[in-house]
């Protein structure tokens, strides 16, 4: 008996269904791998000290960043980021800065996620993009699920500072670091080293930076949740 040969229209439907299902399978694989990778700890024996320097890890659900005092005896961020020594739009000097890393074109040309063009998204997926630092200037940010405080030992904070400074390209003698304006109030951007890819995202940069300082953190944290699950939410106050 001759083998059954599917009708050409049926074969076309099978081919189209497979084509449409492939991106969903890739996305599912990425999410599963990200969950597994972010659940495998680095610095598994680390514990928060009773005293030290308090930082915060912030998130908007997609992006994460590290909030630090502008000045401590370990580091004065005004020496690295001149904007940290300037008044905010409300006239107040910022006692805290938030530092994050991301894709340059997105930071500079995408005010909201709805403004992200398909061409930019596809370029990031298949080619990646240049890195850029985001530096925001805060006045006493309140602890919340989106701003979670955590304490570091002074030597751990020193390593955190060193890691962040490594993200800045060398500054030739006699030059001033380029400052880019931001769509976000009270924030600016600075050139950064590194290349943004799906495997090396803004959240991976934060996870790597915290792990370099010595904190307990997942091994691969491309998503915000992979970072934040290692940072306890602050206790609610009645």
Average pLDDT over residues 106-124: 82
Greatest C-alpha distance within the chain: 86
Question: What pLDDT is recorded for position 5?
Answer: 52
Q: Please report whether residue 23 resides in a domain.
A: no
Angle between helices 202-213 and 154-166 (to 10 degrees): 140
pLDDT digits (tens, 9 = 90+) for 133-148: 999 999 999 999 999 9
Q: Please report whether residue 131 resides in a domain.
A: yes
Strand ranges for 70-201 from DSSP E: 96-103, 129-138, 147-152, 179-181, 187-196
The model's confidence at residue 238, banded by pLDDT at 50, 70 and 90, is low
Question: What pLDDT is recorded for position 15?
Answer: 54
Q: Please report whether residue 233 resides in a domain.
A: no
pLDDT at 30 over 90: no
Q: Please report whether residue 100 resides in a domain.
A: yes
Q: Please report whether residue 12 resides in a domain.
A: no
CA atoms 9, 14, 19, 21: torsion sign: positive
pLDDT digits (tens, 9 = 90+) for 80-97: 999 999 999 999 999 999
Q: Please report whether residue 216 resides in a domain.
A: yes
Phi, psi values for residue 159, rounded to 5°: -70, -35
Total domains in the chain come to 1
Sheet holding 53-59, edge to edge: 147-152, 53-59, 64-69, 96-103, 129-138, 187-196, 179-181
CA distance 186 to 184: 6
Provide the residue range defining the domain that includes 218: 40-228
Q: Please report whether residue 116 resides in a domain.
A: yes
Q: Please report whether residue 99 resides in a domain.
A: yes
């Amino acid at each position: 008996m001759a083998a059954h040969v599917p009708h050409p229209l049926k074969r076309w439907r099978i081919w189209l269904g497979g084509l449409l299902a492939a991106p969903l399978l890739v996305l599912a694989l990425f999410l599963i791998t990200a969950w597994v990778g972010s659940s495998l700890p680095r610095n598994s024996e680390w514990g928060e000290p009773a005293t030290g320097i308090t930082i915060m890890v912030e998130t908007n659900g997609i992006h994460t960043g590290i909030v630090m005092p502008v000045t401590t005896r370990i580091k004065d961020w005004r020496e690295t980021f001149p904007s940290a020594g300037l008044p905010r739009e409300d006239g107040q000097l910022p006692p805290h800065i938030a530092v994050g890393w991301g894709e340059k074109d997105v930071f500079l040309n995408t005010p909201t996620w709805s403004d992200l063009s398909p061409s930019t998204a596809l370029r990031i997926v298949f080619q990646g993009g240049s890195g850029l630092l985001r530096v925001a200037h805060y006045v006493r940010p309140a602890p919340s699920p989106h701003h979670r405080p955590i304490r570091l030992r002074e030597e751990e904070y020193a390593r955190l500072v060193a890691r962040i400074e490594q993200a800045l390209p060398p500054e030739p003698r006699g030059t001033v670091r380029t400052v880019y304006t931001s769509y976000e109030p009270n924030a600016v951007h600075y050139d950064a080293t590194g290349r943004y890819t799906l495997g090396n995202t803004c959240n991976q940069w934060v996870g790597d930076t915290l792990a370099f300082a010595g904190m307990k953190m997942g091994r691969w944290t491309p998503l915000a949740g992979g970072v934040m699950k290692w940072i306890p939410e602050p206790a609610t106050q009645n």
